[in-house]
Structure 1
Amino acid sequence: MTMRSFSMSSRDMPTWVQKPSCFMILHITYFLVLGFMGAFALWMCPQINSEHMSFIDALYCSTSAVTVTGLISVRIQGMHKFQQIVLLLLTVLGSQVFTSLFPLYARRLAYRRILTNQAMAVLSKVQEKLISNESEAKEDAENVKLISNESAAREVKAHHSNSEVKVEVKGVSAYVGKNELGQLLKHLLRYVKGKSSEMMKIVWKRCIWREDFMSVLSKRILQCCKTEDLTNEIEISMWKSMYMEYKALTYLYRIVVAYFLLVQLGAFVLLQIYLFASPTATKILEKNSVNKTFFSAYNAVTSFGNAGYSLLDSSMIPFRNHAFILLFLSFIVLVGNTMFGPCIWVIISVLQRFGKGSRKEVYTYLITNPRNCYTHLFPKNQTLWLIITVMAINTLQTSFFCVLDWNSSSVNGLNFAEKIVDAVFQSVATRNAGNNVVNLVDLSPSMLVLMVGMMYISIYPVYLTRQKTRAPKMLAGEASEETYSEHYDSKISVQSRKLLARDSAHIFVIVFLMCILESQNISHDPLNYSVFNIIFEVISGFGNVGLSVGYSCALKTGNNSSSCQEVPYSFSGKWNRGGKILLVLTMFLGRHRGLPDSLDSALLLPRRVAQEQEFATIQSMAQLSINSSTSWPRRSRDRSRRTSFTDDQGLQLPAHPPYGQDQSSG
């Protein structure tokens, strides 16, 4: 088993899965499929008035939900409950937390497959050694026969020796200590008994990945690798590293799934308790014929997913006097998006503080190497930077809201505390969920301009933190120094300039095309279809926020102003088909602008990770050899089978570090 076997153990994976562009392709495909499936579901189901929405509107609403934007082109209270549930499910499937689980699970599965193959390879080589020396082995056997319900008996033979026990399962043998025999047999018997298949590989796969047994097997495999000369020190280090990362991915996957479920469940329960305890909140829902339980579940899920949907046409404006609902939903909005990474970091830190044994080691590995495992988990300093940045941005917008619109008509009738709460909620929603607790048309123009800027930079704190902490330089592979500096430089200043230039170009082209498509409406209704209103709607869709200035009949001019009807949905719902289709593409483009690079360290499959770890090991060994002033001691035993490497200057490097160095550090 050579180093190449680690990197090529994923050969049973499709070739296209191993390409750097695979993540982006799968991500785009996933959202396209969900968007069109949701569109057909919305289109086929009639609304409450028995009318079917047009397919363009269905595609618009479906894309808005799956990209967690929150814009809508029809009355949400006029939708059938099935259509409302479809929007809810699309929000869940498109949320940041849920989609981040896919690469985490895929990498965990890939590590498991590779490590299983390596375990089987080592056991096969151990078997060959045992067969060659079988005549010399001392056997004191005790046979245990297991009769299957469907097939012939399987045998587990325990051969006792002086210090160890040889365990054999249908041709695969390994030595374990006597004190480990009971535990080993217990798991073997559990998984062999009653199984119809006699494939020993399946039996071993199922037993060795038990957490309480893997540590025993890994120790024996590593010992066999050393004593039986089946591998070299680099491969042993690779096994340890990949096994630790597999355990870290497993624990992290469980933590994120639990977080995803428990936060939304807790939000639903607390909202439900408040609604039952608040008569005024209950009256608001009864007046709009909205079920309290459904309202609690809907707002908990859509707020966590940052879609910002509400079952009321007027969003959260009816609850502007309810401080608990507004502050609590603000918290849920933050922990479901920008503060998701810091929350996971805090949870792991607490578990690491109180953990014991192997669990503590895994949590320590996650804290020490967060970006090796997850796209939303950052080192301590960057996590603190993200928290401070998010809090500073929200505080800044809240302050300006209080200064610019403290006496505006949008907050008339509210006391001091209620105005502060509304300002906090609106500031949080501007960059994330898109709910509104005030009528945006009543806000000052300067505040609307500030909102445009906040929506534009909605993803910047998390994106820049991710880019700053992504893969080190060696993960750029074969890239030259110039290419690396241009495309893989992780400095925040470089990444922010790159992102600003790209986004500005996209916004300019989209607004230009939108003005062409809506030119007739702009000429007939210039106040509602002002360029600023179009820019506001485009940036809201591009930032996946969902705020909208709406459409006001009071601003309509001309002879047809008397026949105008107010629409309780987004301003873009009044656009023509071409404008809606372009905004659908805008929302789709915005959902993919903040994705991590394909070379992100948390997206690399084990095949590429193994190659990079091998490269790092060789580089460190080369540095040791250059810095060493004395030659390495020569070993008497034959090393012809040992792997050697050659650096860029032609220096041949042995596979073992100098004597006296820590062997596990390779």
Structure 2
Amino acid sequence: MVDNLGFALTPDSMVTFQDATFPLLVMTFLAFAGNTCYPVLLRLLIWTMSKIAPKDSSLRDPLNFLLNHPRRCYTLLFPSRPTWILFGVLFSLNFVDVLLIIVLDLGNPAVNNLALGPRILAALFQSASSRHTGTATFNLGAVNPAVQFSLLVMMYISIFPIAISIRASNTYEEKSLGIYPRRMDGDESRPGSYVLTHLQNQLTFDLWYIFIGVFCICIAESKKIMDANNPAFAVFPIFFEVVSAYGNVGLSLGHPDVLTSLCGQFTPFGKVVVCLMMIRGRHRGLPYQLDRAIMLPNERTITDKPPESLFQDEKPKEVRGLAKLKHSLTQ
């Protein structure tokens, strides 16, 4: 769970444990701590250690340095304001996800077979799993279609909160920590405009890969899709599968005849397309160069002036004037 892989030894993922309170609590925390809430919990841990450390302790200065210059030291450690924004976004997304699962499936026996308390906990676990973990406490093929669509959207935007936080804090002493393509640029001084620009770039760029993947799989699996006796094969379950692969989540609506994901019933070509979607989705939005989260004071960036120009700028005007006069006389 903490690695957000989604592997389980049980054939029905976590449906067997949907009423087990303690395991679900632990695994929900691990799912959040291992990915989406990792920057929040990391800063909380550092802040807590800085508060409980004695005043004369040698740990206070390093901890305060981490809190004051987080992106200089670690890629996933953000300043206070972006961390609070990230927490607010994650809380809102998970709250909406849990609310939809509870409300839209009030009369669904696939969900309301649980008491209210375990149902809320199972919905919270499912909400956490819809980002990266890929495990399920409900039979996703039997839940409300609106819930399926909401999970699809959550899988697609799973990378956005942390990615936008990384981009928004992508400066160190007014220099960029990573070189991104021009289409990713935005006005970082205006968070609202920057987030909107990033979302527009993602929606206009990433969706092409998803559409191409769905199109290729529909061609490869056309006979199964057109088979009226095989209702599990349809365009939406394939769309769900491709988005899950592109977001590196691992959720699937499954197939009633097997215990594997729906892609287990694909042809070899369809499985190759799913693998390509996973690889492309894993590398979306990366900078052209490594993020320089660690930069020593004596390191120079590309935009820095050479040492000679630095010394020249520090010379008084009189000295520079005498140097120019001497140079003209020698000529």
What TM-score, normalized to structure 1? 0.43
Report what 2:98 is aligned to: 398
After superposition, the Cα gap between the structure-2 partners of 1:654 and 1:545, relative to the gap in structure 1 and judged at 3 Å, is same
Please tell me whether the aligned partners of residues 327 and 421 of structure 1 are also in contact (alpha carbons under 8 angstroms).
yes
Secondary structure class of the residue paired with 1:645: helix
Report what 1:332 is aligned to: 30
Please tell me whether the aligned partners of residues 334 and 340 of structure 1 are also in contact (alpha carbons under 8 angstroms).
yes
Give the alignment partner of residue 250 of structure 2, picking from 546, 562, 567.
Answer: 546
Report what 1:589 is aligned to: 280
Secondary structure class of the residue paired with 1:610: coil
Deviation (angstroms), 1:484: 8.4
AA aligned opposite 2:85: W
Q: How does 1:85-484 map to 2 (within 5 A)?
A: 303-353=1-51, 354=53, 356-471=56-171, 474-475=175-176
Report what 2:202 is aligned to: 499
After superposition, the Cα gap between the structure-2 partners of 1:485 and 1:551, relative to the gap in structure 1 and judged at 3 Å, is closer
Report what 2:313 is aligned to: 653
Please tell me whether the aligned partners of residues 24 and 122 of structure 2 are also in contact (alpha carbons under 8 angstroms).
yes
Deviations 1:262-305 (A, max 9, x none): xxxxxxxxxxxxxxxxxxxxxxxxxxxxxxxxxxxxxxxxx001
Supply the distance in 2 between the matched residues of 1:518 and 1:509 (Cα, whole angstroms).
14
Supply the distance in 2 between the matched residues of 1:476 and 1:417 (Cα, whole angstroms).
45
AA aligned opposite 2:314: P
Deviation (angstroms), 1:655: 6.3
Give the alignment partner of residue 524 of structure 1, picking from 227, 237, 242.
Answer: 227
Give the aligned CA root-mean-square deviation in angstroms: 2.7
Supply the distance in 2 between the matched residues of 1:597 and 1:407 (Cα, whole angstroms).
50
Deviations 1:248-269 (A, max 9, x none): xxxxxxxxxxxxxxxxxxxxxx
Supply the distance in 1 between the matched residues of 2:159 and 2:285 (Cα, whole angstroms).
6
Please tell me whether the aligned partners of residues 645 and 655 of structure 1 are also in contact (alpha carbons under 8 angstroms).
no
Is 1:610 aligned with 2:306? no
> Based on CA coordinates, which of the two structures has the bigger radius of gyration?
1
Deviation (angstroms), 1:343: 1.3
Report what 1:91 is aligned to: none
Give the alignment partner of residue 211 of structure 2, picking from 505, 508, 514.
Answer: 508
Deviation (angstroms), 1:509: 1.2
Supply the distance in 2 between the matched residues of 1:484 and 1:453 (Cα, whole angstroms).
25
Deviation (angstroms), 1:583: 0.5
Percent of residue pairs bearing the same amino acid type: 31
Q: Judge which range, 430-439 or 409-418, deviates more.
A: 409-418
Unaligned runs of 5+ in 1: 1-302, 553-565, 619-642, 657-666
Deviation (angstroms), 1:485: 6.5
Secondary structure class of the residue paired with 2:313: strand
Deviation (angstroms), 1:387: 0.9
AA aligned opposite 1:585: L
Deviations 1:193-245 (A, max 9, x none): xxxxxxxxxxxxxxxxxxxxxxxxxxxxxxxxxxxxxxxxxxxxxxxxxxxxx
AA aligned opposite 1:612: T
What TM-score, normalized to structure 2? 0.84
Supply the distance in 1 between the matched residues of 2:177 and 2:88 (Cα, whole angstroms).
30
After superposition, the Cα gap between the structure-2 partners of 1:574 and 1:318, relative to the gap in structure 1 and judged at 3 Å, is same
Please tell me whether the aligned partners of residues 248 and 278 of structure 2 are also in contact (alpha carbons under 8 angstroms).
yes
Deviation (angstroms), 1:539: 0.5
Supply the distance in 2 between the matched residues of 1:411 and 1:474 (Cα, whole angstroms).
51
Supply the distance in 1 between the matched residues of 2:129 and 2:245 (Cα, whole angstroms).
14
AA aligned opposite 2:246: F
Supply the distance in 2 between the matched residues of 1:594 and 1:487 (Cα, whole angstroms).
8
Supply the distance in 2 between the matched residues of 1:346 and 1:445 (Cα, whole angstroms).
37
Supply the distance in 1 between the matched residues of 2:64 and 2:177 (Cα, whole angstroms).
27
Supply the distance in 2 between the matched residues of 1:348 and 1:522 (Cα, whole angstroms).
52
Supply the distance in 2 between the matched residues of 1:486 and 1:522 (Cα, whole angstroms).
37
Supply the distance in 1 between the matched residues of 2:128 and 2:290 (Cα, whole angstroms).
32
